[in-house]
Amino acid sequence: MFEPGRVGLIAKREWSTRVKQRSFQITMIIQILVVLALGLAPVIIARFAGDDEGSGASVVVVDRADAGVAGRLVPWLEGDGDTLETIEVRSGAGSPEAARAMIDEGDAQSALVVDRGDDGVLTFTLVTEDDRSSRNVQRISVAASAIAMEDRLVQSGVSLEEAQQVFTPVAFYVESPTNGQGDTDFAGSTDANAAEYAIAYISSILMFIAVVMYGTWIAQGVVEEKSSRIMEIMVNAATPRDLLAGKVIGIMMAGLTQLLPMLLVGSLAFSFQTQIADLMGVNVERVLDIDFGALTIRSVGFFLLYFLLGFVLYGALYAGVGSLVSCQEEVSQAIAPMMTFMMIGYFGAFFVLGAPNTTVARWLMIFPLTSPFSAMPRILLGNPATGEIILSVVLLVLTATGAIWLAGRLYRVGVLMYGQRPSWRSLARMGGMQQVAR
Amino acid sequence: MSLDIHQISKSFGEFTVVQDVSFSVEPGTIFGFLGTNGAGKTTTMRMILDIIRPDTGEVTWGGTPTRYLPRDTFGYLPEERGLYLRMVVEDQLMFLAQLYGADRKTVKEELDVWLARLHIEENRRKTVDQLSKGNQQKVQFLASVLHDPQILILDEPFSGLDPVNAEQMKQVFREMRDRGKTIIFSTHQLDDAQELSSDVAIIHRGRLVITGPVGAVRQSTGEHYVRIAVAGDPENLWLDGEWDLEIVRRRSDYTEIAVPNEEVARSILREAVRRNLPVTRFEIDYPSLNDVFLTHVRKMPAAMQPTREELTAVPVGD
């Protein structure tokens, strides 16, 4: 069916002309810089914000009531290591003015001034730039009222130990209603799950970008060959099928040449965030903690399988469509019908990310025009039957083969047709007449 | 082992482009395929190459339909030039020759020889869009010969070439013929064909007008042409009068007269001598391919008469 030598020759030419283009190289560098910036963003932000250690959250206590407030605040303002951060409690500012100066110099975020009123009740004044409703102000307020009540009990004769027992901070957890039932909420999920979510998410986006960007290259390349008439020599020297396969493979390789370094740099940047932070001497409280150990052979294998098959399918269709139009301006218009299916697959993928075990998700995975985009989320996050995955892949293989056949046919008819866009009827007729042999 | 075009026809929709055309090309010859613009030359050549298939009829080489031949049998120079404009000449030619299946090393050696032969060595590392039109044309020609094909199909190979380069190209054609290649070239400059080819086929509106060896075709009208020049009388006005001669054209250097036979021709010379005119040129010849074409077409029904546009493509006059 194909002549590997010719296909390889064409693919090599496509690859090398693309790769040598200045715009190709610049795009590649920009992409790498962008993922590097994204990957290292937490570290970089911490680095620039981090001139003052512990500025994250701290409160200076000016205890004019001498009620031991600083020590009593500590258990209240401890973080839980997850969603609540620890607010550091300091003492050492003798006056509200000194405390204000500390805030101005960035040594502390807020100051809590404690006085005892004439009625013997503690009063608290929080000096802060934070909004009244901010989480830290709320936490300090809760702590202050507990300490005030504790203090009243002590004043009325209860021992300090007893009072403190009453006011031990309560164990209080917040959970989302679906948690613990295989939910896929990004924040609420386990680390491994988050990684699979990220991989599914990235693979759908990559697939879409690759098909749209490099598919357009394919269509434009065909139109260029048509309009420069070199196509007349090419179809004489090789079969339309070889030309088509070579073009799709060559541009796919060029696409991978552009994408893989970006992926590599990106995943390295994400996975070594902690180490990079250490190297730069930055203390990053919360890095995007994706465990790329979840990049198993299974997930990478499925990604490559769907990527290659999906690219061949759509690449062939792009080439076929390109062979039917005669100038670059018509390309985007002519690919609109295909674009509809790609959009369904792409936006479908986001739906599947949230609901991977629904009927819609199953159909999006089986239907070959959407499966390149929507299958990965379901395979990684849902629990599709093995038979279903096999069906999806087999259908995709068959459709990709059919697309090459169809596009080869269109190519044969389309490449020598200039000017008017052909009607479907004339295509069918001419396709029929030009059967056999090559 | 000849290339036989056997009653091929091709229509696009309602429009018949080629109708029932047949001719044969002997191997190792240069064959001229002639006609006005839009006569169906390019479509016929594409059918020979199996780029498009005839609706009816068949093209064979040594009895084998061309669609079963290896792709490197043919070299093709399309009428609309086709090259990757941004690709380096050398890379491009290597690529195309290899696409035809040629061996890389052989092609490289051939390429060196050819670039030198056509005096375009210095353009080897330039991209095509940096070349002059004439040089692009030469590169295009190389793209059709580097894989060493048996048959060369050249669509309007001289268009865009200046006289010097056209002459060089004609010389190359003769060399290729001497190396045993079969060359079919189309042109609307019928004089190019008369000079180069041993056989021709002339088509008009998709139909074959005449085919055969150049000599036989030129004799096919049964007419002879007399060319006569007389010193001091560029218009040869003495020819007018009771003679009733068919004067084909009056040029500044000679006058051309169509005569039914050589006897009439000689009588013209006798009359000139009798009048004691200073004759500087007298020549009896067959009509040129150009005139043969016009004579045949004028005998066709009114609907087949060439339009002004078609005729402007055929240079009437030498």
Of A76-80, A267-271, A327-331, A419-423, least confident by mean pLDDT is A419-423
> What is the secondary structure of A317-330 as a DSSP string?
HHHHHHHH-SSHHH
The pLDDT assigned to A423 comes to 58
Q: Do A426 and B13 touch (CB under 8 A)?
A: yes
* Distant-in-sequence, close-in-space partners of A62: CB < 8 Å, separation ≥ 6: A93, A94, A95, A96, A98, A99, A111, A112, A113, A114
Question: pLDDT tens, A109-164?
Answer: 788 888 888 888 888 888 887 777 777 788 888 888 888 888 888 888 888 788 87
**In the numeric block, which tokens belong to residue A415?**
């490449």
* Distant-in-sequence, close-in-space partners of B252: CB < 8 Å, separation ≥ 6: B234
> What is the secondary structure of B9-56 as a DSSP string?
EEEETTEEEEEEEEEEE-TTSEEEEE--TTSSHHHHHHHHTTSS--SE
The pLDDT assigned to A54 comes to 43
pLDDT classification of A317: cutoffs 50, 70, 90: very high
Q: Does residue A238 belong to the interface with chain B, where contact is any CB pair within 8 Å?
A: yes
B contact set with A (CB within 8 A): 13, 46, 49-53, 55, 67-68, 71-72, 74, 76, 78, 80-87, 95-96, 98-101, 143-144, 147
Per DSSP bridges, beta strands B255-259 and B246-250 are: antiparallel
Contact criterion met (CB below 8 Å) for A295 and A386: no
Per residue in A64-86, is it b (16+ CB within 10 Å) or e — as a string? ebebebbebbeebbeeeeeeebb
Specify which of A98-112, A185-199, B155-169 reaches the highest per-range mean pLDDT. Answer: B155-169
DSSP state of B127: B
CA separation for the pair B48, A35 (Å, rounded): 55
pLDDT classification of A49: cutoffs 50, 70, 90: low
Does the pLDDT at position A333 exceed 70? yes
Its sign, for the CA torsion A356, A360, A365, A366, is positive
The pLDDT assigned to A130 comes to 75
Q: Does residue A426 belong to the interface with chain B, where contact is any CB pair within 8 Å?
A: yes
Q: Do B76 and A232 touch (CB under 8 A)?
A: yes
* Distant-in-sequence, close-in-space partners of B101: CB < 8 Å, separation ≥ 6: A5, A6, B70, B71, B72, B147
Question: pLDDT tens, A276-316?
Answer: 777 776 665 555 555 566 567 788 889 889 999 999 999 99
Reduced to 3 states, what is the DSSP secondary structure of residue B184?
strand
Query: Greater confidence, A371 or A176?
Result: A371
Comparing CA positions, the residue from A426, A245, A212 lying closest to residue A336 is: A212
What is the arithmetic mean of pLDDT over A240-249? 90
**In the numeric block, which tokens belong to residue B82?**
């086709």
At what angle are helices A4-20 and A240-271 packed, to 10 degrees?
50
Number of other CB atoms surrounding residue A387 within 10 Å? 8
Comparing CA positions, the residue from A369, A374, A340 lying closest to residue A358 is: A374
Q: Do B82 and A230 touch (CB under 8 A)?
A: yes
Using alpha carbons, list the distances in angstroms from residue B60 to A90, A178, B260: 99, 75, 39
What is the arithmetic mean of pLDDT over A33-54? 70
Residues in chain B closer than 8 A to A434 (CB atoms): 52-53
Using a 10 angstrom Cβ sphere, with 0-12 exposed, 13-18 middle and 19 or more buried, the burial of residue A393 is middle
Contact criterion met (CB below 8 Å) for A42 and A272: no
Which residues partner with A310 through β-bridges?
none
Query: Greater confidence, A221 or A85?
Result: A221
Of A211-215, A285-289, A398-402, least confident by mean pLDDT is A285-289
At what angle are helices A371-381 and A336-354 packed, to 10 degrees?
10
Q: How far is A225 from chain B (nearest CA, A)?
A: 7
pLDDT classification of A332: cutoffs 50, 70, 90: confident
The pLDDT assigned to B280 comes to 92
Per DSSP bridges, beta strands B74-77 and B151-155 are: parallel
Q: Does residue A437 belong to the interface with chain B, where contact is any CB pair within 8 Å?
A: yes
CA separation for the pair B165, B185 (Å, rounded): 16
CA separation for the pair A279, B26 (Å, rounded): 81
Per DSSP bridges, beta strands B56-61 and B151-155 are: unpaired
> What is the secondary structure of A273-303 as a DSSP string?
HHHHHHHTT---S------GGG--HHHHHHH
CA separation for the pair A128, A90 (Å, rounded): 15
The pLDDT assigned to A173 comes to 67
B17 residue type, one letter = V
Per residue in B132-155, is it b (16+ CB within 10 Å) or e — as a string? eebbbbbbbbbbbbbbbbbbbbbb
Mean pLDDT, chain A, integer: 80
Most distant pair of Cα atoms in chain A: their distance: 106
Comparing CA positions, the residue from A210, A195, A71 lying closest to residue A143 is: A71
Q: What is the share, in percent, of chain B residues with pLDDT greater than 90? A: 48
The pLDDT assigned to A182 comes to 41
Using alpha carbons, list the distances in angstroms from residue B278 to B236, B275, B282: 11, 9, 11
Q: Is residue A200 left, alpha or beta, with left meaning phi > 0 and alpha meaning psi from -120 to 50? A: alpha
Q: What is the share, in percent, of chain A residues with pLDDT greater than 90? A: 25
The pLDDT assigned to A62 comes to 86
Tell me which H or E stretch contains B152: strand B151-155
Q: How far is B119 from chain A (nearest CA, A)?
A: 23
The pLDDT assigned to B313 comes to 53
**In the numeric block, which tokens belong to residue A254?**
């060029």
Question: Which chain B residue's Cα is nearest to A425?
Answer: B13
What is the arithmetic mean of pLDDT over A174-200? 57
Counting DSSP H helices and E strands in chain A, the numbers are 17, 4
CA separation for the pair A139, A130 (Å, rounded): 12
Question: Which chain B residue's Cα is nearest to A17?
Answer: B87
The pLDDT assigned to B76 comes to 93
Give the domains, in start order, of chain A with CATH numbers. 4-45+185-433 (no CATH), 58-166 (3.40.190)
Question: pLDDT tens, A340-396?
Answer: 999 999 999 999 988 888 999 999 999 999 999 999 999 988 888 899 999 999 999
Contact criterion met (CB below 8 Å) for A160 and A149: no
Using a 10 angstrom Cβ sphere, with 0-12 exposed, 13-18 middle and 19 or more buried, the burial of residue B202 is buried
Comparing CA positions, the residue from A240, A229, A246 lying closest to residue A320 is: A240
Using alpha carbons, list the distances in angstroms from residue B261 to A111, A232, B290: 126, 48, 19
CA separation for the pair A164, A167 (Å, rounded): 5
Q: Do B84 and A437 touch (CB under 8 A)?
A: no
Q: What are phi and psi of B314, to 5 degrees?
A: -95, 110
Instruction: Name the E strands within A120-207.
Output: 122-128
Q: For chain B, which residues score pLDDT lower than 50? A: 315-318
Q: Which of B13, B83, B144 sits opposite A230 (nearest CB)?
A: B83
Q: How far is B14 from chain A (nearest CA, A)?
A: 12
The pLDDT assigned to A370 comes to 94
Mutate to test the interface with A, among B55, B71, B90 (most CBs of A within 10 A): B71
Three-state SS sequence of B301-316: CHHHCCCHHHHHHCCC
CA separation for the pair A106, A55 (Å, rounded): 7
pLDDT classification of A246: cutoffs 50, 70, 90: very high
Q: What are phi and psi of B75, to 5 degrees?
A: -120, 140
Tell me which H or E stretch contains A387: helix A386-414
Does the pLDDT at position A174 exceed 70? no
A138 residue type, one letter = Q
